[in-house]
Structure 1
């Protein structure tokens, strides 16, 4: 016999009615499909205990008891007294309050989870619910394991008035303690999540993912429509709507949630990557050991659309990649991709420019030219890496930052400058690989690193050769001369110490053998990160500062300014 959910009705002993498409679904099929309608994909609500059992490894769920008792501090009565409402909710859900706190494992990785139950007074946030969320955070802190919050709520609990309001601050403080301690936090948004829950702990986690079509917002749709006097778009406040606008990391179907969470939990255990074998001499630090490449030819090769992109390298050199999206202020730029992955068995935060290979991909990725939201997304991921103690790997492959009107209106210069400043002070190892074209500040915004590597046919420059030729000679046709004058090729960059090493590419370039190119990049990255692993945060920041201060310090007239 199938079990009815809060928004699916049991027709008889064997059939369930989907409340979205009105299709009748065989009960056992409905259960096997994790209570997702096989016809329309609607994700029906789950009771808290059933949700926890779906997510956690079998046999690992350990409910964490709590002496929290809900009190009627206001003596509130609407159509029935508040204590009577509470008793009805307890009988309906089998919970003493609207949050189930449990410890367990996902993919063998331990965590603490706080699962809200919408069936308990609409998942409303009262004093006891807030205390359970804060207590789950304290338990995660004590055990030094990640915290997963499954949010489902209509908002604050009106029957507790201002005491309910205070739970927003209490739970926010609890998450702040986890931030200070470097403990990973993940929120899973389910339908619906509104009001005080959405405006506090549900959107404060390091990673925020959502089920398809889950609604998330502060004010409800009806309230907004009444306020503004017009009808809202059908997709307004849905997970897909918010993902496009940079407020979520991912929208993940229920059947894929465990795999998604397993990949994210890998970030909770930092380590040192093991380096795969690579041909001798793969990483070259002496420019005299490199064959010269004519600079303009290097530019053309760097721009070859067949060269592996950031996502190609992530797919071949890393494992368990979980892409994270959004700048959390209103945008998600497809020209920069990033997320948690493992390299040589150890977790890293990997971020890079993404171009594409075909005309359609290039257009969709804006030719690898990021907008401000791209740099702000990268900065958000780097701050998360710093919190968790994860090394940062960046891939550079861009003609430059997007030069459009909208980019300027949204603060392109500020976004780039903030990324550069942030990278200068990151307390974790940072390694950059220039895999194609490194253009101007748009490239540097992802390249302020402890070690900067470049592919043998990569280029790096303050301006494109065409731009330089147009400005200085008023003749774009003189781009080859400009390329030579700018010393854009890898060999020249190594001699100038702008890059620290060159990664030899397979015969014919990385595009000729992407798998081998990825193996060489993985080996080079792992070796660099292993060298940097011994340095503490202060040493890393100091050495990084010295690296960039040295450029120009040998010029005549340089002084020790602190002695003046």
Structure 2
């Protein structure tokens, strides 16, 4: 088998776009990776075309994995199954509906299994299951990431229950890569349905989709015929699924290699660089060195709309940020953003609350108040960070968790509680920085860290001063008095040991000089991550758990039992 496709000698010079029916000059259309310049429709690529497009030039090596496909059932519909196989092989020049290769994308080694819809509609049978499984096992042996390019109409009916078993077979293979800490990426192309969609296509760490690609278990026609309803026009498209938290990225074909390269780079930590003219660690750890401040004024400063947001800091203090979307359960909360990035060359996972600078941005981001899908998205990214051994950096800036009825119906309290437990046990360094307002459990759900820092004008409290005043003083006007009583200023938090250090703000606040604030944030994070990276995974967990166990009484089971015995005697 070669990477050339079988084409007719008298191939037409013009093609008709299947999306908008515009006539396209074939050579121009081919140079444009078979994407319509008029409507953006992404035509199907063959597996050989896909591999040639994705791999670095000269970096492709086909895997000589035999595809064993047998007619075990003696299946005959309008023609015998062996006849269908022979016809598919003759038309495509392929042995099966998957082509496997090793090579590099952006210089990063990877194993790829690319499906070809031309071969019996990319149906999942024993041969396909075997090839995908062996590609995963090759990645496991070579300790490199796995990329699967999907294109399938569903299970191969001619193989009956043996086809069904391939869903479990391939899922188990991806599970082994999870255990080994190897990155898996799924590239969804149009269409991806049935057994492929319900197994390896959606089990990858990161799911990337081409624009307009359809993904689902049951096809649109089957659903409409079954429930007798007309489905939305965009139903099951990549864009539809991105909005609902099932897809991380929708990437046009001409950007795929670059975006995949960035993802692969995050899974291949190398030597990290140093800051040019690296400043002294800006963190202040002695509360006596911090000036006294009016607590209510500090709350107002923490809420200023000119303060840099998480996305602002990602642009100024980090490089190569790749935002990942969705909780894979049905939502993608805009109040939480996260993804891979580099901190002075070191790959990290950054997750933070996102507010905004204008009324429109605040409304779009729910004023930085996450719902359950926001916390579950954060949890998914933290688990991925742990799998890839990436430090986790969280940037906290929220009035609190979203207080709506729909959030409660979708398990707001459960989502927060699960994040607290998850963060307490992460076996990678975790550093949290309160960049503005840290409100209640909605903030803590992203701040169970080995090191917790805060900007000088930040605040962190169990409740807002307004809420406390309304409940305890029965008077909203008592908010300034409540702010003082709650002890949520940076100076108070450092005195209480709630935070480990304070990052001084530029004159006029972080909003007055965002670049200088970002420089100080970067320097503080580099120092903290460097310190923690010298610790073993178990030591990191122990350090974090002991940190939070220490808030309050120092009583232990041993001292409690001793006191009990002494009291009895």
Please classify the TM superposition score into its range, dividing by the shorter chain length: over 0.9
Please give the per-residue CA displacement for 1:515-545, whole angstroms capped at 9, x wherever unaligned.
Answer: 1111111111111010001111111111111
Q: Secondary structure at the match of 2:118?
A: coil
Distance 1:41 1:281, change over 3 A: closer
Q: Matches of residues 220-235 of structure 1 in structure 2 within 5 Å?
A: 220-235=219-234
Aligned counterpart, 1:20: 19
Q: Secondary structure at the match of 2:338?
A: strand
Alignment map for 1:192-207 (pairs within 5 Å): 192-207=191-206
Q: Please show how residues 176-187 of structure 1 align to structure 2 within 5 Å.
A: 176-187=175-186
2:85 aligns with 86
CA-atom RMSD, angstroms? 2.0
Q: How does 1:370-381 map to 2 (within 5 A)?
A: 370-381=370-381
Quote how far apart the aligned CAs of 1:237 are. 0.8
Aligned residue for 1:434, secondary structure, equals strand
| Other structure's SS at 1:292 match | coil
Q: Which runs of 5+ in 2 are unaligned?
A: 565-569
- Which residue pairs with 1:300 in the alignment? 300
> Any residues of structure 2 matched to 1:55-74 within 5 Å, and which?
55-74=54-73
Number of the residue aligned with 1:456: 456
Structure 1 residue 255: deviation in Å? 1.1
> Residue in 1 aligned with 2:99?
100
CA distance in 2, matches of 1:417, 1:546: 18
**In the alignment, is the contact (CA less than 8 A) between 2:5 and 2:48 conserved in 1?**
no
Relative to structure 1, the CA distance from residue 293 to residue 34 in structure 2 (aligned partners, 3 Å threshold; closer, same or farther) is same
Report the equivalent of 2:259. 260
> CA contact under 8 A between 1:272 and 1:529: conserved in structure 2?
no
Correspondence for 1:382:
382
Say which SS state the counterpart of residue 31 (structure 1) adopts: helix
Q: Answer yes or no: is 1:142 the counterpart of 2:141.
A: yes
**Could you tell me how far apart the structure 2 residues matched to 1:264 and 1:88 are?**
38
Could you tell me how far apart the structure 1 residues matched to 2:229 and 2:439 are? 46
When the two structures are superposed, what TM-score results if normalisation uses the length of structure 1?
A: 0.96
Match of 1:508 in 2: 508
2:501 is the counterpart of 1:523: no
1:413-428 superposed matches below 5 A = 413-428=413-428
Q: Provide the residue aligned with 1:214 in structure 2.
A: 213
Aligned match of 1:118: 117
- Matched-pair contact (CA < 8 Å) for 2:281–2:524: no
The equivalent of 1:402 in structure 2 is: 402
> Aligned pair in 2 of structure 1 residues 454, 274: CA closer, same or farther (>3 Å)?
farther
What are the superposed Cα offsets for residues 410-432 of structure 1, whole Å, 9 maximum, x if unpaired?
Answer: 01000000001100000110000
Structure 1 distance, partners of 2:376, 2:281, is 37
Aligned to 2:567: none
* 1:308-357: CA deviation from partner (whole Å, max 9, x where unpaired): 00000111111111111111111110000001111111111110000011
Q: How does 1:294-373 map to 2 (within 5 A)?
A: 294-373=294-373
Contact preservation (8 Å) 2:215, 2:236? yes
Distance 1:288 1:155, change over 3 A: same
Q: Is the 8 A contact 1:275 1:527 kept in 2?
A: no
- Separation in structure 1 between the aligned mates of residue 5 and residue 35 of structure 2, nearest angstrom: 11
Q: Secondary structure at the match of 2:70?
A: coil
Change over 3 Å in CA distance of 1:467–1:10 after alignment to 2: farther
d(CA) in 2 for partners of 1:278, 1:82: 68
Q: Which runs of 5+ in 1 are unaligned?
A: none
Q: How far is the alpha carbon of 1:12 from its aligned partner?
A: 6.0
The Cα shift of 1:10 comes to 12
User: How far does residue 560 in structure 1 lie from its aligned partner after superposition?
Assistant: 2.9
Cα deviation code 1:442-499 (max 9, x no counterpart): 0000000000010111110000011111111111111111111111111111111100
Per the TM alignment, residue 67 of structure 1 is displaced from its structure 2 partner at its CA by 2.2
Normalised by the length of structure 2, the TM-score is 0.95
